[in-house]
Each structure stands twice: as C-alpha cells, then as structure tokens.
Amino acid sequence: MALEKFADELPIIETLKPQKQSNGSTYYEVTMKECYHKLHRDLPPTRLWGYNGLFPGPTIDVQQNESVYVKWMNNLPPRHFLPIDHTIHHSESGHSEPDVKTVVHLHGGATPPDSDGYPEAWFTRNFEETGPYFEKEIYHYPNKQRGALLWYHDHAMAITRLNVYAGLAGMYIIREKKEKRLKLPEGEYDVPLMILDRTLNDDGSLFYPSGPDHPSETLPKPSIVPFLCGETILVNGKAWPYMEVEPRTYRFRILNASNTRTFTLGLSNGSHFIQIGSDGGLLPRSVKTQSISLAPAERYDVLIDFSAFNGENMILTNGTGCGGAVNPDTDANVMQFRVTKPLKGKDTSRKPKYLAAMPDVTAQRIQRIRTLKLTNTQDKYGRPVLTLNNKRWHDPVTEAPKLGTTEIWSIINPTRGTHPIHLHLVSFQVLDRRPFDMDRYNEFGDIVYTGPAIPPPPSEKGWKDTVQAHAGEVIRIAAVFGPYSGRYVWHCHILEHEDYDMMRPMEITDLP
C-alpha cells in the first residue's frame, strides 16, 4: 500500500517529568511496555514497545552537572513479537537466556560503568531474571560533560536490533548555561528530530525479516540478517510528516536512530543548513553546508533559516539509498517544512560563527597507539560474521586503556562497506583518514597507502562518539579515556552487526 506523504503533522516529543527533585538531583522512573501508535493517518495502530509506552520515548531534558537518577523498569510481555535467532551468543556460551531482556544505554554519556548499559547487565520483567553483569535497578547519570544531544536505547545482548526496531529509543538533551550567550533559537524553535526507517505491513504491523531473502536449507529459522533497510521513513514516530514553521530560524537536533541506514540530508530548494554541533556538542565554528551525512547513532545540530521562504514548502530529502539508489516512493523524502505560520515576533536569535573552544587532544602525551581492524569470518552455517580485530564478543579483553591516558586508535577498514564505530564512555576527535590498497591488504595483509592523510571535514571537527569508518580507509581517532574506570564496550552501530559479533568489551583500568 502506497502511503500519502506529508499527511501527518510532525509530533513534538513529550518531555519526561521527574518523580522527585532536590538539591541538584533529579529522579525519574521509566517503564518499558507494549503500546500501539498510528504511524500514519491511513494505517491502523502499530504494535510497538516504548519507554513509558511512547514512541519515540520521552525526551529527558537536563542541565549540565545535574545529577540524574533513572529507574528503568521492564514491563514487557514474556515473548518477543519479532523473530529471535537463538543460535547467536547465549547458545554458543552454553546457557539459555530469556527471549525478552532489556538494558538501557545512554549513548554519548560519560557514565559510571554500572549505569552504562553493559550488554550483559540485562534484566527481565520486574527484574525476575538478570544477566551476569547486572548490578542495580537505578542508574546514575552525572551529566558532567558538554551540552549535547545524546540518546538512550536498548542495548541487550544479541537482541539490540530487535528491541530498538520495536521502539525502544528516546532523546536525552544536556543543556549548558554558556550556550545562552550565543542566542541560538530556543523554546518551541529548538526541535529534536529522531529519524529512522521501518518496513510496515498493510495492517500497520512492523515487518522484520526472519532470515535472508534467499535462505539456505542449512540456515537456522529464524536467522539473523546482515543488515536491514526499512521502506518507510519516520520522524518523531510519524511516516513522512510535515511541520508548519514560521519564517524565522529554527534549531534542529537531528538523530539517525536507524538500525542500518545512513542518510544524506538536503533541502529540496537548495537551501543551506548551518551546522553548529555534532555528537558531543557544539563545534568550534559553524559550518554552512547543503548536505549532511548521518550514519546510525550520529547526531547533527543545525540551524535552518526559513525567513526568505514565507508561504513556501520545502522537503527534507535523502540522497543515499540502502543497497541501491534512493526511491521517490520510499526513502528519497524524509519530511516537509511548510513556512505557513505567522511570525509571532521579531526573530532575535543569532547564527554565530564561533561557538566553543576545542582543545587538541593530541597535544597531551599519547600513552598508546593502537592499530585495530574491521574483520570478517563465517559461522558454522556459512553466514558472514563481522568482527573487530578478528575477535568475537566472548574473547578476552584486548582494549584496556589506563584511566586518564590519551590514546590514538588507528582503525583499518578492508571490508566493502562503511561502519559507524561507537566508543562508550568517551568522546574523541577525528584526526584524519587515509586511503589504502584494499585488494593488496586483503591478499597480503600489508598497508600500502594510495594517497595522503586527509584531515576531517569541518562537520567532523567537533567531539564525536560515533564515526563513519569508510571502506578502503584508515581512520585515526584520539581520546582521553575517563573519567571512570571499569567495563565498557566499543562496537559497530549497525545493530545487525553489533548483535553478531562486531562488538568488543573495553576495560578502562586504574592500574599503575
């Protein structure tokens, strides 16, 4: 069924209300539960799982240094409504785990390890069963970091792709007082946009494949798929919505919450975005651009000035397909802006050129330079298994930076695709990318560069926690590992890759 585009108004995501507040501390309770929402005017309600029964989950809006506590509660049904592959992870380690388990990761958060959402710190309904790393029911988020758009989502071992696809994702905004001096658009003119893709059946239900398109008789049923591209683009929980705006400047905090899909966003009338921030907060300088490349889990903070387009409509477009060219019936359009609202008053917001100081991480002593590879193998069924440094999840820890030290990670990608690489706990700086002869590397294992090291584009000169590692490139990133020691992870943020087996534990050690 072809759905009419721009039929539903863009929802403004609800802000979570605290249970208690006192002396700089705030306490929230959030329950994961099954829910039904209309994703398009012409569809029946879709069965989903949502934080507090909402899709997307409610936005958690906090101040820098505000000490936040959240009790995440699982009130989901005992059986999953999406297809679980029981052959990955838990079966290989010799024990069975429950079908429905959850754990919440605050993506981009500098968070103590027992509140980070370690994949094996999962819990079931009413905490009846817990994983081997489960420590406590109430998570602590200190928010002692730069103002930025973060997000929270499920991170349970081997079923992250299913739980997030079912709806378990929400925004988290840290606000920094010094941003006020920049006079950026605020209030109703500061709008978070969660963009993602889903495939919907004619009855409105979510479709998630139970195996590859051309399954072998030897494959288990269900079987994990290597990637997933949905045919319907949702923004804030609606398919191809429209937003009525005033002829003035708006701030949009944009998140790609898709499992696999990368978007290349543009505006149909050729207008510019002014990028002011990325994953970890404000850039040093604003960037004027007509195109935004947004891989899964990446965030862009942009300004769009509608003042010259009063009475006009413009479309937020997508120029990157998923395994092929974009299709105007499916993924070529994201949403529509209608510059039809009357201007409420003079627009006094600014578009500052200079935004935030950006220290050079490499000016500090570099404790270690690691060379890491994106690798692949096959399992006993002949399925591709993407890995990091030829290690599986359950192999011993090999990345163990010392607390407070600076490291450069040199990541080699000899695979055929781009992988968004995410490090928990830290933000990092992109140093450069350098092309190499991929065919030679895959045959002989040595690096022969085919061009010079290229510094990051202006859009990547801020703090990042997720970065696109492109095929045939070595990308170098630098980070200070802290402020906490303990067990974290790093992984590809294509969720089908993360679940099997492109994720590794990372131990921040405080040993001398």
216 pLDDT more than 90: no
Q: What percent of the chain has pLDDT over 70?
A: 98
Can you list the positions of beta strands (E) in 257-331? 263-267, 273-278, 281-289, 292-294, 299-305, 313-318
434 pLDDT more than 60: yes
Name the band, by pLDDT with cuts 50, 70 and 90, for residue 90.
low
Q: What are the residues whose beta carbons fall under 8 Å from the beta carbon of 502, sequence distance 6 or more?
A: 374, 386, 387, 388, 419, 491, 492, 494
The one-character DSSP state at 509 is B
Q: Is 484 in a helix, a strand, or coil?
A: coil
pLDDT in tens, 470-505: 999 999 999 999 999 999 999 999 999 999 999 999
Q: Is the pTM of this model over 0.75?
A: yes
Name the band, by pLDDT with cuts 50, 70 and 90, for residue 401.
very high
Q: What are the residues whose beta carbons fall under 8 Å from the beta carbon of 267, sequence distance 6 or more?
A: 273, 290, 304, 314, 315, 316, 317
Q: Are 103 and 155 in contact (CB under 8 A)?
A: yes
Give the pair of three-digit tokens for residue 222.
């269900």
pLDDT in tens, 441-481: 999 999 999 999 999 999 999 999 999 999 999 999 999 99
Name the band, by pLDDT with cuts 50, 70 and 90, for residue 92.
very low
Residue 325, Cβ neighbours under 10 Å: how many? 10
Tell me the CA end-to-end span of the chain in Å, nearest whole number: 62
Region 122-129: mean pLDDT is: 97
Region 54-60: mean pLDDT is: 98
Q: How far apart are CA 319 and CA 263, in angstroms?
A: 7
pLDDT in tens, 324-366: 999 999 999 999 999 999 999 999 999 999 999 999 999 989 9
Strands 57-63 and 384-388, by their bridges, are unpaired
pLDDT in tens, 1-31: 689 999 999 999 999 999 999 988 999 999 9
pLDDT in tens, 147-167: 999 999 999 999 999 999 999
User: Can you give the pLDDT at residue 94?
Assistant: 46
Q: Are 341 and 319 in contact (CB under 8 A)?
A: no
Domains annotated for the chain, with CATH where assigned, are 20-178 (2.60.40.420), 187-338 (2.60.40.420), 361-508 (2.60.40.420)
Q: How far apart are CA 308 and CA 337, in angstroms?
A: 13
314 pLDDT more than 70: yes
Q: How far apart are CA 498 and CA 496, in angstroms?
A: 6
Give the pair of three-digit tokens for residue 302.
């942009």
Region 215-242: mean pLDDT is: 93
Strands 57-63 and 46-51, by their bridges, are unpaired
438 pLDDT more than 90: yes
245 pLDDT more than 60: yes
Q: How far apart are CA 384 and CA 376, in angstroms?
A: 7
User: Can you give the pLDDT at residue 1?
Assistant: 66
Give the pair of three-digit tokens for residue 88.
């990955």
